[in-house]
């Protein structure tokens, strides 16, 4: 059995307002994307890592990969306009059997740890599909949007809620089938799990970490620096 990793890294990161895609911003002097790659490169089970980036960024990523010693384990593919397109492009490039495992990870979650990655792989081996998730801490309200603002319609018990993180892992055959069905039906999911759920598969949850943050806004970079300093 082989384990492949996909890092969709073709986003423009407009919310970061940093003048460049957030995956290329530096965290402790190293690009965020490299931190994410390094985490998966440390896991022995990982066969290869596929990074989906825009064509205009491929030369930059190739240089960074060589500089940090990942050239033998990393493949670069052309990303799409959406996350789903980027993952689909990478899936097409992976020569995997149905029983192989594919992990998809946000390129801008640089603090994922090897232990959580390994637990996700083990969960996929057992259940065929698993994601990293963090139990909700805050009270969760369901609302209805109106012209005057949001109105609460229900309070959802926290024990029924987890905040989805990555990596999200699946048997390769299952993920490819789910993506093909989504493409055929014009369905766009918010993450890979939503696409696989739609295909009728159960997705299990692996406990995540508050440190496994997704760097989206300027304050997230400062928080990541804090977590990194405590590792």
Supply the CATH number for residue 209's domain. 3.90.550.10
Does 214 map to a domain? Answer: yes
Domain residues for the domain of 196 are 3-133+162-230
Cβ neighbourhood burial of 72 (10 Å; 0-12, 13-18, 19+): exposed
Does 80 map to a domain? Answer: yes
Give the Å distances, CA to CA, from 12 to 4, 8, 80, 156. Answer: 24, 11, 11, 33
Of 8-17, 62-71, 145-154, the range with the lowest mean pLDDT is 8-17
* Residue 22 confidence class, pLDDT cut points 50, 70, 90: confident
Average model confidence (pLDDT) across the chain:
93
Rounded to 5 degrees, φ, ψ at 178 are -65, -40
Cβ neighbourhood burial of 146 (10 Å; 0-12, 13-18, 19+): exposed
Does 146 map to a domain? Answer: no
Does 156 map to a domain? Answer: no
What is the distance between the alpha carbons of residues 145 and 200, in angstroms, rounded to a whole number? Answer: 29
Beta bridge partners of 173: none
Count how many domains the chain has.
Answer: 1
The pLDDT tens digits for 160-214 are 999 999 999 999 999 999 999 999 999 999 999 999 999 999 999 999 999 999 9
Element (DSSP H or E) covering residue 4? strand 3-8
What is the distance between the alpha carbons of residues 150 and 97, in angstroms, rounded to a whole number? Answer: 47
What pLDDT score does 87 carry?
A: 97
Q: What is the pTM of this model?
A: 0.93
More confident call, 14 vs 163: 163
What pLDDT score does 19 carry?
A: 60
Asked if pLDDT for residue 17 goes beyond 70, the answer is: no
């Amino acid at each position: 059995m082989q384990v492949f990793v996909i890092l969709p890294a073709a986003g423009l990161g407009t919310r970061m307002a940093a003048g460049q895609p957030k995956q290329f911003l530096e965290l402790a002097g190293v690009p965020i994307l490299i931190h994410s790659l390094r985490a998966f490169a440390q896991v022995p089970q990982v066969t290869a890592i596929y990074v989906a980036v825009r064509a205009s960024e491929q030369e930059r990523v190739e240089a960074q990969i060589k500089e940090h010693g990942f050239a033998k384990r990393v493949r670069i593919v052309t990303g799409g306009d959406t996350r789903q397109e980027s993952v689909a492009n990478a899936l097409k490039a992976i020569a995997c059997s149905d029983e192989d495992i594919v992990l998809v990870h946000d390129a801008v979650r640089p603090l994922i740890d090897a232990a959580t990655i390994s637990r996700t792989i083990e969960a996929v081996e057992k259940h065929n599909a698993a994601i990293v998730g963090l139990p909700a801490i805050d009270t969760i309200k369901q609302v209805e949007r109106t012209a005057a603002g949001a109105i609460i319609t229900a309070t959802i018990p926290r024990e029924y809620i987890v905040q989805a993180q990555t990596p999200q892992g699946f048997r390769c055959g299952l993920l490819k089938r789910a993506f093909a069905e989504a493409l055929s039906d014009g369905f766009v999911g918010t993450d890979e799990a939503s696409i696989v759920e739609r295909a009728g598969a159960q997705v299990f949850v692996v406990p995540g970490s508050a440190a496994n943050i997704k760097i989206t806004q300027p304050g997230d970079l400062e928080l990541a620096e804090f977590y990194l300093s405590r590792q």
